[in-house]
Amino acid sequence: MIADFGYGALIVTLLVSVYGIGAAFYGARKNLPAWVESARLAMLLTFPLVTISALCIIFLLVNGNYEVEYVSSVTSSSMPTYLRITALWGGQAGSLVFWSWLMALFATAVTLRNWHRDREFLPWVIVVSLVTLAFFLILIIFFENPFQKLWLFPDNQVVAGLSQPAGSVLFFPRDGQGLNPLLRHPGMIIHPPMLYLGFVSFVIPYAFAIAALITGRTDDRWIRVTRRWTLIAWLFLSLGLILGGRWAYDVLGWGGYWGWDPVEIAAFMPWLTGTAFLHSVMIQEKRGMLKHWNMVLIILTYCLVIFGTFLTRSGVLSSVHAFAQSAIGPLFFGFIGLTFITSLSLLLKRWDELKSETQMTSWLSREALFLLNNLLFMGILIVCFWGVMFPLVSEIFTGLKKTVGPPFYERATGPLWAGLLILMAIAPLAAWGHSTIKTLGRAIWKPFVLSLVGIILLIVSGIKSVPALLGFWLAFFVAAVTLQEFWRGTRARHSRSGESYPLALWRLVGRNRPRYGGYVIHIGVVLMAFGIIGIELFQHETQGTLSQGEKIQLGEYTLTYESLSIFDSNDGRNVARAVLSVEENGKYVGELFPRRDYFFESQQPMTIPGIKSTWEDDLYVILVDWQPITSQGATFKIYRNPLVNFMWLGGIIFILGTLIAAWPTKDIETVRTRERHEILVGATG
Amino acid sequence: MPVGSLFLRGLSKKVWVSSLIYLILMLLIFFSTVNAQELTPNAPSDNEVNAIAKQLYCPVCENTPLDVCPTQACSEWRELIREKLASGWDESQIKAYFVEQFGDRVLATPPARGINWLVYIIPPLAFIFGGIVLFRAFRTWKKPAEMGDKNLAQPSSDEYINRLEEELRKL
Amino acid sequence: MMEDIETEITTAESNRTPESIRPRWGRIIAWLSVAALLALLFFGLLRTQQGPIGVGQKAPDFTFTSFDGKTYALSELGGKVVLVNFWASWCKPCEQEAGDLELAWRAYQTRGDVVFLGLAWTDTERKSLEYLEKFDITYPNGPDLGTRISQTYRTTGVPETYIIDRNGILRSVKLSPFLSLDEIKASIDPLLNE
């Protein structure tokens, strides 16, 4: 009953969406605000409707209604309640409902904003949002229905379907298959939702861009409106990616945080264009330039989001992350075709109207450097895109499969990341419009010298690897330049207004959140760079089979296999938990507990590492599960990951910086209007 | 070694025999603590195998390097690497063998031949193309500015807004 | 005054001409890229949906060298019914059908117009030979070198069996282990009578 109710809610939502699309279209064409208002209300209605449907699924999941196919495929009686709720996005059908729910949420949030200055945009924003929502609803209703039930035939065949086939009865399995063990982790609560939030929220800036193209209002208004939306979307996407890396490192036990897997890259590509957009949009705001390019970037970001979702779910790419192949591929392909072709047509139609207002005066101006930044990001995007697409190309033209793995991406993008670091060091010191080598040189020599000092210290301490030294030097350089910016701004405020340094810093950041938030993000990036250089270039590993009491050594660490306990947990796993004691340079520093969990239902093992974390490095131990695990002999893989915790710290600061940058200030134009008003009153009064 | 020095001092037969037994016992204990894999002392270590396995990809699973792949097939392939290492093969020979047996997909990046050249050529070409577009755009934007049109293009409202923003920022 | 304005307009127009040519190239490139991408995705999707080689099509030719050094080519086996079985020593379901396949082979062997070929897929030679010995398999088996044959047949795993008739047409595709000797015979017997 609940299942049927939930399904009905989805159908009603689809009908409401289709109505909304039609009403908005009609109202915009015939210039009838009443119809547009009706469409807006329809869009508002979609959210409660999809919520009802999602709640129905959650109820079925928590309650253990295994006669519903989705429930039995992603839950089992041994799963705790919080995991049963997260199973909503654990499988293809449920995750599509979750996507739709987020889409409806953002559509609602956007309708509730103040529209009086952007009335012409409203109908088209409604159309784009509802078309996207309707597409996902069609996928769910006709292809990946989470409310399908299981029906049992007399010959013991079980079939899934929405309505009862003749001669069958409802099938109530005793237990479900359970969520993939890799997903049974608190990380499951946050990582997929964050990623989906990131993806879905990029629909809104795209909707405004399309609205601007259709209405011809291609001035700065659409950029000002979408800038904060884009920042929020980018925040969620960054958070989703960072959390994914942390989860992989913590739980999945292959010693890494990013595998350059096609699905990871599919989520990374919109992030690249989103970052490029966030930079180049500043050029349009400050100097009125690059209108074409900003349009292209936003359209590209949305297209990459849809494209990435398609790749993950259609089975076109082979990946450890991919959902099981399904019939939604062709429909998705149609939607992609529609999106790409419509966007390109609209863009080309308005191309000549997106005229620039200012010209470039200096090669070293901030605009020029931001453009270089964009070129580098596009370069990285091309590498990622082509690396993902090439195996497909090879298979189509030669019939043979190829692997494009991490070495390709690392070698191809390495120099580009280095270039971006160089830009991060120079651009904050370059002025808008006009900059010469002299002005730049004056501002840059102190951080430059500081960074050289840092590098000399590193060389003296024994680091010889040239790529590492180059990377560290760049990181030092960027850190010095960015911190100098904080210092100069704080000192200027202090000397002008007499504020104490901490207060001056607070007010400095508070009065100019986008700029200093951005600098905080750059600091975060620098810290992540430290971590990444450490783990990528200086990781050491060893593997050995130990019997109880035996030792193994890695660098200055000696680990002793103390004991092993094997037991069944109360949530359907057999756990083998090893205890290793760790000595560093002969001194005892603690114990590690790598374990192997074997999940009975899905017959899948998981190896969870034991990690000892310090700022200097992580000692990371995996209990190898393809060899026998006994107290007489167990095999361990041991990694030493230097500086990796700087990466996580950098991630936190990165997110903090984004929050600072996105924190709402009074709308600058409201302030302007008020100022204008006050000046007028003052002039006349 | 106690045995050696005692021997040199001209030990009695009893001491000789007991030392020999001691030696045999030590050898037995040594060999019994060899780990469960029963490697001969010359067998390549796990680390040597992994150094090569790291660079190869599982032919069956998706995008999984051979040193961390948990399947039985992958274990067998690692043992194959160990065998080949023990027979004196070097890294390039082993990799070539794997390619012959399992196809190009076991390598981390496609070998540079035939259609595979596209992987390595397209990104640099695209980057250079982008660079050229950017360079030409720079030049087009810079020329009017050099001709002295700096004041032409900015509409007055933007100037007003810019000045206001500066004032506000000073607050 | 009018002449000045006219000159201005003409200069402005001539300044604009190079710009209007450039976007045309850009448009062509943009549309071509989108078309190329969509075509790529289309064929990729088609390939995914296709699955293995279909029944009724001509079976793709292949050659392989067996573990005892003999070469076999599908094209040289015209006029005979050929059963091609993909397996691996590490594949548990393959063991379920190994015995039945050997029994079937022995039943058809004396006829001379049925050929059984076994291809070891992503396997190691030592383990393959151990597997063959364990099930006492006597029909020709060899490694699928470079997984080329399995990729031509677009297999998705092991065990898979493809049965080809006397005219080289693929007549039966089995994507899981055979459950019984009778099942194997039922797939082959109809083709013998043609």
Q: Above 70 in pLDDT, residue C3?
A: no
Q: Above 70 in pLDDT, residue A439?
A: yes
The verdict on a CB contact (< 8 Å) between A359 and B123 is no
For residues B58 and B64, is the Cβ–Cβ distance under 8 A?
Answer: yes
pLDDT band at A646 (very low <50, low <70, confident <90, very high): very high
- Scanning the structure block, which residue is given the tokens 């529209």? A115
Q: Which pLDDT does position A206 carry in this prediction?
A: 93
* Residue ranges of chain C whose CB lies within 8 Å of a chain B CB: 88-90, 122-124, 126-127, 143, 145-148, 151
Instruction: Retrieve residue A118's tokens.
Output: 């952007």
Q: CA Rg, chain B, in Å?
A: 36
Domain range summary for chain A, segments of one domain joined by +: 1-177, 539-645
Q: Cα distance from C173 to chain A (closest Cα, Å)? A: 20
Collect all residues of chain A within an 8 Å Cβ-Cβ radius of residue C44.
316, 392, 395-396
Instruction: Retrieve residue B139's tokens.
Output: 């030049």
For residues A70 and A89, is the Cβ–Cβ distance under 8 A?
Answer: no
Q: Cα distance from A353 to chain C (closest Cα, Å)? A: 13
Question: Which 580-639 residues of chain A touch chain B by CB within 8 A?
Answer: 605, 607, 625-628, 630, 632-633, 635, 637
- Closest listed residue to residue A368, CA positions, set A416, A417, A430: A430
> Which DSSP state fits B65?
B
Count of pairs with CB atoms under 8 A, one residue in A, one in B: 161
CA distances in angstroms from A259 to A120, A245, A408, listed in the order given: 45, 9, 12
For A390, nearest residue in chain C (alpha carbons): C40
pLDDT band at C4 (very low <50, low <70, confident <90, very high): very low
The verdict on a CB contact (< 8 Å) between A316 and C43 is no
Give alpha helix (H) positions in A288-365: 291-314, 328-349
Average pLDDT over residues A19-39: 92
Instruction: Retrieve residue C36's tokens.
Output: 């190329």
Q: Which pLDDT does position B153 carry in this prediction?
A: 43
Q: What is the pLDDT of residues A61-98, one digit of tens each?
A: 999 889 899 998 888 888 888 888 989 998 889 999 99
> Which DSSP state fits A110?
H
Q: What is the pLDDT of residues A551-600, one digit of tens each?
A: 999 999 999 999 999 999 887 789 999 999 999 998 999 999 999 988 88
Best mutation target among C67, C86, C122 (most B Cβ atoms within 10 Å) is C122
Collect all residues of chain A within an 8 Å Cβ-Cβ radius of residue B164.
672, 675
Q: State the amino acid at position B46 in one-letter form.
A: D
Domain range summary for chain B, segments of one domain joined by +: 3-36, 46-109, 116-170
Q: Residue A11: what are its φ and ψ, rounded to 5°?
A: -65, -45
Cβ atoms < 10 Å from Cβ of C61: 12
Q: Above 90 in pLDDT, residue A374?
A: yes
C30 Cβ neighbours under 8 A, 6+ residues apart = A344, A348
Q: Residue A229 and residue A221: Cα distance in Å, rounded?
A: 13
Q: Residue A395 and residue A435: Cα distance in Å, rounded?
A: 50
Q: What is the pLDDT of residues C58-101, one digit of tens each?
A: 999 999 999 999 999 998 888 899 999 999 999 989 999 999 99
Average pLDDT over residues A383-388: 95
Beta strands in C39-140 (DSSP E): 63-65, 71-73, 81-87, 114-120
Query: Helix, strand, coil: what percent of chain A each, to 5?
Result: 65, 10, 25
Q: Which chains sit next to C, with 3 or more Cβ pairs under 8 A?
A: A, B
Q: Residue C119 and residue C126: Cα distance in Å, rounded?
A: 14
Q: Residue A170 and residue A157: Cα distance in Å, rounded?
A: 12
Q: Residue B130 and residue B135: Cα distance in Å, rounded?
A: 9
Q: Above 50 in pLDDT, residue A240?
A: yes
pLDDT band at A328 (very low <50, low <70, confident <90, very high): confident
Q: Cα distance from C188 to chain B (closest Cα, Å)? A: 30
Would you call C73 an interface residue with chain A, using a CB distance cutoff of 8 Å?
Answer: no
Q: Residue C79 and residue C111: Cα distance in Å, rounded?
A: 13
Average pLDDT over residues C19-41: 81
Measure CB to CB from residue B80 to each of C88, C124, C145 and give the nearest one: C124
Q: Residue A641 and residue A662: Cα distance in Å, rounded?
A: 33
Would you call A667 an interface residue with chain B, using a CB distance cutoff of 8 Å?
Answer: no
Q: What is the pLDDT of residues A270-322, one digit of tens each?
A: 999 999 999 988 888 888 778 888 989 999 999 999 998 888 887 777 666 66
Higher pLDDT, C48 or B49: B49
Question: Which 142-181 residues of chain C touch chain A by CB within 8 A?
Answer: 147-148, 151-152
Least confident residue range of A35-39, A177-181, A394-398: A177-181
For residues C90 and B76, is the Cβ–Cβ distance under 8 A?
Answer: yes
Q: Above 60 in pLDDT, residue B145?
A: no
pLDDT band at A430 (very low <50, low <70, confident <90, very high): confident
CA distances in angstroms from C150 to A15, A100, C36, C57, listed in the order given: 47, 40, 28, 16
Instruction: Measure the CA dihedral C48/C50/C51/C56, to 10°.
Output: -170
Task: Give me the DSSP letters along B17-64.
Answer: HHHHHHHHHHHHHHHHTS-TT---TTSPPHHHHHHHHTTBB-SSSSS-
A9 Cβ neighbours under 8 A, 6+ residues apart = A49, A50, A52, A53, A56
pLDDT band at C8 (very low <50, low <70, confident <90, very high): very low
Assess: ipTM above 0.90: no
Count how many Cα atoms sit within 13 Å of the Cα of residue A554 in the half-sphere of its side chain: 23
Average pLDDT over residues A425-448: 85
Q: Is C188 exposed, middle or buried (0-12, 13-18, 19+ CB in 10 A)?
A: buried
* Structural element, H or E, at residue A577: strand A573-584
For residues A295 and A213, is the Cβ–Cβ distance under 8 A?
Answer: yes
Collect all residues of chain A within an 8 Å Cβ-Cβ radius of residue C30.
344, 348
Q: Which residues, in sequence order, are bridge partners of residue C160?
A: C86
Would you call B57 an interface residue with chain C, using a CB distance cutoff of 8 Å?
Answer: no
Q: Residue B147 and residue A352: Cα distance in Å, rounded?
A: 23
Would you call A547 an interface residue with chain B, using a CB distance cutoff of 8 Å?
Answer: yes
Q: Which chains sit next to B, with 3 or more Cβ pairs under 8 A?
A: A, C
Helix A187-201 vs helix A221-247: angle between axes, to the nearest 10 degrees? 160
For residues C118 and C155, is the Cβ–Cβ distance under 8 A?
Answer: no
Average pLDDT over residues A651-663: 93
Q: How far apart are the first and last CA of chain B?
A: 85
Q: Residue C31 and residue B111: Cα distance in Å, rounded?
A: 32
Q: Residue A378 and residue A395: Cα distance in Å, rounded?
A: 26
The verdict on a CB contact (< 8 Å) between C146 and B102 is yes
Q: State the amino acid at position A71 in one-letter form.
A: V
Best mutation target among A333, A342, A345, A347 (most C Cβ atoms within 10 Å) is A333
Average pLDDT over residues A625-644: 89
- Closest listed residue to residue A275, CA positions, set A298, A243, A258: A298
Give alpha helix (H) positions in C51-138: 92-109, 125-134
For residues A166 and A154, is the Cβ–Cβ distance under 8 A?
Answer: no
Q: Which pLDDT does position A341 carry in this prediction?
A: 94
Top CATH class of B46-109 equals mainly alpha
- Closest listed residue to residue A149, CA positions, set A74, A66, A58: A66
Q: Residue A267 and residue A242: Cα distance in Å, rounded?
A: 11
Average pLDDT over residues B41-54: 86
Average pLDDT over residues A523-534: 95
Measure CB to CB from residue B60 to each of C89, C122, C145 and give the nearest one: C122
User: If one looks up domain C63-192 in CATH, what number appears?
Assistant: 3.40.30.10
The verdict on a CB contact (< 8 Å) between A403 and B33 is no
Q: Residue A349 and residue A354: Cα distance in Å, rounded?
A: 10
Measure CB to CB from residue A320 to each of B62, B141, B155 and give the nearest one: B62
pLDDT band at A204 (very low <50, low <70, confident <90, very high): very high
pLDDT band at B1 (very low <50, low <70, confident <90, very high): very low
Instruction: Retrieve residue B112's tokens.
Output: 């540079």
Q: Which pLDDT does position A175 carry in this prediction?
A: 86
Would you call C110 an interface residue with chain A, using a CB distance cutoff of 8 Å?
Answer: no
Q: Which pLDDT does position A606 carry in this prediction?
A: 85
Q: What is the pLDDT of residues A468-524, one digit of tens each?
A: 999 999 999 999 999 999 999 999 988 888 888 888 898 889 888 989 999 999 999
Collect all residues of chain A within an 8 Å Cβ-Cβ radius of residue C40.
389, 392-393, 396
The distance from CA B2 to its chain's CA centroid, rounded to whole angstroms, is 47
Q: What is the pLDDT of residues A184-196, one digit of tens each?
A: 777 777 888 999 9
Q: Which pLDDT does position C13 carry in this prediction?
A: 44
Look at residue A526 and give its three-state secondary structure.
helix
The verdict on a CB contact (< 8 Å) between A375 and B155 is no
For B123, nearest residue in chain A (alpha carbons): A383
Domain range summary for chain C, segments of one domain joined by +: 2-49, 63-192
